[in-house]
Amino acid sequence: MFKGSLVALITPMTEDGALDPKAFQDFVAWQIAEGTQGLVPVGTTGESPTLSHDEHRRVVELCVEAAAGRVPVIAGTGSNSTAEAIELTRHAKEAGADAALVVTPYYNKPTQEGLYLHFTAIADAVDLPIIIYNIPPRSVIDMSVETMARLAKHPNIVGVKDATANLTRPLHTRLSCGTEFCQLSGEDHTALAFRAAGGVGCISVSGNVAPRLCAEMHAAWEAGRIEEAMAIQDRLTPLHDAMFCETSPGPVKYAASLLAKSSAHCRLPMAPVAESTRARVKAAMVQAGLLN
């Protein structure tokens, strides 16, 4: 259903911090032209924690409109409030999104049973494919393989974005959830290794600024050109390092500004990136052939 190079989209803003709808839709069009196979608006990279609910919904609508059915749109709809997650998921369906990306609830630290009940409630309430977003570094909790296997039995829960960087996880998930359960890496460095362990793609941050390279890497892997895929991986690794040398999305929005795709502005509490980060990001982009 979803595979290859998918991108966790930034949300372009003006220098004073307002949404920039034209820049966002132009960015979506560029991503598709460069070969991106799926779009993920209003995730962490899209600064969902600091968007108002109206802004959140607007970004999903803009993405669906700009994509125009050419590639799937997986809208971020997670919340640590189950009722709020249901509301956002309903909106994503109404807006025409192809699926919802639902993060494990942050801050309130539910038990595994709480996670099961949370995701089941959303899947029962909205007839839309749901991808679980498991990212312990940001949400503190880690959904177990056993809980995921329980959830995989629900017809609306179709996969996982796994940002654990634990490469034994997809092996056990494949055995427990079945080969049809869509496993996507949520960590750029592990994209190919994750595919070798049973994954089918990656929801990427680096893809915001290197969409063609990311798409070509996955295409090479799928065609069995493993050495070519690994050569692209080598080219991208310093860029991945730079994208996370400060908390994302600071570095990637600065990188996008160097390509004139967005301002570098992030809303507080995200601070402007340090001068050393700017230098590292620019150097990595030059090394990858993204800048002269």
133 is catalytic: yes
Selecting among 133, 253, 254, 261, the annotated active-site residue is 133
106 is catalytic: no
Check residue 273 and report its DSSP letter: P
Selecting among 161, 253, 254, 261, the annotated active-site residue is 161
Reading the block at residue 181, the tokens are 């359960």
SS3 (DSSP) at 202:
strand
β-sheet with 157-162: strand ranges across? 38-40, 4-8, 201-204, 182-185, 157-162, 130-134, 99-103, 74-76
SS3 (DSSP) at 177:
helix
Q: Return d(Cα 67, Cα 159) in angstroms, integer.
A: 22
Helices (H) and strands (E) in the chain, counts: 12, 8
CB 205 within 8 Å of CB 8:
yes
Q: Return d(Cα 135, Cα 39) in angstroms, integer.
A: 19
DSSP H or E run through 150: helix 145-152
Catalytic residue numbers?
133, 161
